Chains A and B, each alone.
Chain A
Amino acid sequence: MLPGLTELGIQISQFLTARYIFDILWSTQLGIIVGMLPGLTATMGVALMTTLTYKFATDHAVLILICMYVGAIFGGSRTAILINIPGTPANAATTVDGNPLAKQGRAGEAMGIATTGSFLGSLFGMFMLAVFTPILGNAALKFLSFEYFWLTIFGIIICGTLTAPKDPLKGWISGFFGLFIAMIGMEGMHAYRRFTFGNIDLAGGIELLPAMIGVFGFSEILMVMKQPAINIVSSKVGKALPYPREILKYWGTIIRSGLIGTIIGAIPGVGEDIGAWVSYDFAKKASKHPEEFGKGSVEGLMAAETGNNAAVAGAIIPVLSLAIPGSAPAAVLLGAMLIHGIRPGPLLMIENPTFVYQVVAMVLLATCAMFILGLLLINVFVKILLIPRQRLMPVIFVLCVIGSYALSSRIFDIWVMAVFGLIGYAMKEMDYPVAPAVLGIILGDLLDQNLRRSLILTKGNITPFFSRPISMVLILLIFFTIASRIRYFQKLWAILLQKAKK
């Protein structure tokens, strides 16, 4: 443990130069602004920033992206509290108690609680990132092709289930559609061009970043412009710095929400919004005053914000240890790491162990910057909410276009962005979650390589897929995840529970 702490200390000290501190401050503030503005999501912000930092050095680029990510997830709490509109989906749970507090004239107090909750949640997640990334990475070294195959299937199934709780069938369709999209282009074993129909541009496959910018950027622009304009009345925000005794009163909620947020964040493709809601639900069930929830409960607000920011670091755990993203912004972060030559996965702790500690240091510094900026500059940046969306959205689209183009200087990538924007819009209108599709695009290659490799090793025998212990665990998880959503099994489970009680 001591060598790890020493290495962490070294990495933190390396970031304490004027240049790095400047980068941390402006990128975190930009993230807060992106998170604040309805219509701009953390994923869009991180994706755009990835293309803008393409030519930066690896540590600078990843630092800026992590600061943007941490800032954006926190930034949405501003609008959630002030105008009852979450800046990002991760802050939807914040509106439930944050806005009632603002209406009671306690907007400043609510902002302070949200900022402190986000800070503590992020610190908790950072601690779990530092501890569990090496552990999970070591465990993943025992994975063979069979386990990776089942892991990708499990990732799609659990992501589809949790992002579409009312209709998981649509979540699964979205996920498998994403896996198919990853099949387009030249495959890795024989260089055969699949589903290109003679098109040279398609031979290179569908690039992840333009597709993500389209799905999370262009589609969001269309959704925002479709809605009627929101009249935002800018209100003065009072004192924001909370008293320490107010925070210590909810230490149980903070730890519980931090743990839940981190675990939810680590589940592939699920994300901060689920982390916030599950933390909120558990806080309500455990609270001595559940009747206050929904009417301006400080505990509820604390739980939501702690949960969503803990999920940020949680989502980075599988990125570093398994090369599987825990959320959509983490997926972009994974893409950025690959672009910059980092190979996340089980071998990261062997090939590049200092990078893990660098990421932990980056999360810590981003969290501290978020806390300071979040408390100091509330009144200043709330005015940004007054920018009409018809003046903001075309600027965002121009950035989406040039961002998609900048990676490979191909007009084709811009068209990929546009087409996936339309597909993403149609999916959202028909209640298909887009996160499983994006996860599918990321995991498709992993699935393809490992399924074929496994079949080659076993000469077509599928028994090893079902006989290895870790594979069996994953299969059972997949089975129970699907069965829990089928009415027949739900009724059967209810009958069995009743019989057990008798």
Chain B
Amino acid sequence: MEPQRMDKADFITALFLSIFGLAIVIVSLRMPDFRNLGANPYSAPGIVPAVLGAILSILGMVLLIRSISRKGYYLNFSFSGILFLFKQSSIKRLLIAAVLSLLYVALLGKIHYFILSFSYIFIFILAYEFNLKERILRQKSNFIIAFLEAFLIAGSIALVFQYLFLVRLP
């Protein structure tokens, strides 16, 4: 990431960390200490998280001060800037991989494992290899390779885990 964008990212992260750390301290201090049950007060569940929350908050504030000194608070958000970001090919490649993978995870257990895995691998490969500007018939080798790979991999993983490792598939 470029230094200017990093300072902005650090500013936002530092704000989040400082507040997050404080929230951890508050939630930790509200935890019961079980003294009414005869427990030692120093065994209270909230002690260690409170200390960690305080340390995270302090580190977040140090980062915040540093990012402010580097003018990271000039966020300069604009709609056109965000649109430009999403038009970059690297972001598109990232989003395709992320969205397909998260969709796969979300549908696990709801669709048969083999069908879902086959579809995921098949669509993933074609998402990067299919050329919209070329005719579909000219790209049939891509379809065939994607189909074969998806079928073999999804099938073998399902069989190996179900019958060799005795894992009940999701």
Question: Which residues does A use to contact B, with CB under 8 Å?
Answer: 52, 54-55, 169-170, 172-173, 176-177, 179-180, 183, 187, 189-190, 192, 194-195, 218, 221-222, 225-228, 388, 390-391, 393-395, 397-399, 401-402, 405-406, 409, 411, 414-415, 418, 422, 429-431, 447-448, 451-452, 455-456, 459-460
Contact = CB atoms under 8 A, between A and B. Distances in A.
A398 B154 contact: yes
A395 B102 CA distance: 15
Contacts of A228: 89-90
A163 to B, nearest CB: 16
Contacts of B27: 195
A154 B19 CA distance: 25
Interface stretch (B68-76, B77-85, B104-112, B133-141): B104-112
A103 to B, nearest CB: 28
A221 B99 CA distance: 13
A394 B121 contact: yes
B98 interface: yes
Given A406-B167, A448-B48, A418 B124 contact: no
A390 B128 contact: yes
Given A173-B17, A173-B60, A55 B165 contact: yes
Given A190-B34, A394-B124, A409-B168, A401 B105 contact: yes
Closest 9 CB pairs of A and B: A390-B128, A455-B42, A394-B124, A225-B97, A226-B94, A192-B45, A394-B121, A448-B48, A183-B49
B125 interface: yes
Nearest to A197: B27
A430 B10 contact: yes
A225 B48 contact: no
Contacts of A172: 59
Contacts of A388: 128-129
Given A390-B128, A409-B167, A459 B42 contact: yes
B101 to A, nearest CB: 6
B115 interface: no
Interface in B111-151: 117, 120-121, 124-125, 127-129, 145-146, 149
Nearest to B165: A55
A180 B56 contact: yes
Contacts of B4: none
A399 B154 CA distance: 10
B90 A180 contact: no
A395 B118 CA distance: 10
A189 B97 contact: no
Contacts, number: 153
B32 A192 contact: yes
A452 B94 contact: no
A173 B105 contact: no
Contacts of B31: 192, 194
A397 B104 contact: yes
B92 to A, nearest CB: 9
A451 B102 contact: no
Given A226-B97, A390-B125, 18 more contacts: A177-B56, A183-B49, A187-B45, A189-B45, A190-B43, A192-B31, A221-B101, A222-B94, A225-B93, A226-B90, A393-B124, A394-B100, A398-B153, A401-B105, A401-B108, A414-B105, A418-B102, A430-B6
B43 A176 contact: no
Interface of B: 1, 6, 9-10, 13, 17, 24, 27-28, 31-32, 34, 39-49, 51-53, 55-56, 59-60, 62-63, 66, 89-91, 93-94, 96-98, 100-102, 104-105, 108-109, 117, 120-121, 124-125, 127-129, 145-146, 149, 153-154, 157, 161, 165-170
A406 B1 contact: no
Contact of A222 (B98, B104, B105): B98
Contact of A176 (B52, B62, B96, B102): B52
A418 B101 contact: yes
A431 B2 CA distance: 11
Contacts of B129: 388, 390
Nearest to A172: B59
21 contacts: A176-B56, A180-B24, A180-B56, A183-B52, A190-B34, A190-B45, A192-B34, A192-B45, A221-B101, A225-B97, A226-B91, A390-B127, A395-B121, A415-B105, A422-B98, A430-B10, A430-B13, A448-B48, A455-B47, A460-B41, A460-B42
A406 B117 CA distance: 16
Contacts of A391: 125, 145-146, 149
A180 B48 CA distance: 9
B43 A452 contact: yes
Contacts of B124: 390, 393-394
B33 to A, nearest CB: 9
Contacts of A394: 100, 120-121, 124-125
A398 B120 contact: yes
Nearest to B40: A456
Contacts of A169: 59, 62-63, 66
A362 B146 CA distance: 39
A75 to B, nearest CB: 22
Contacts of B28: 194
B36 to A, nearest CB: 12
A222 B91 CA distance: 10
B170 A405 contact: yes
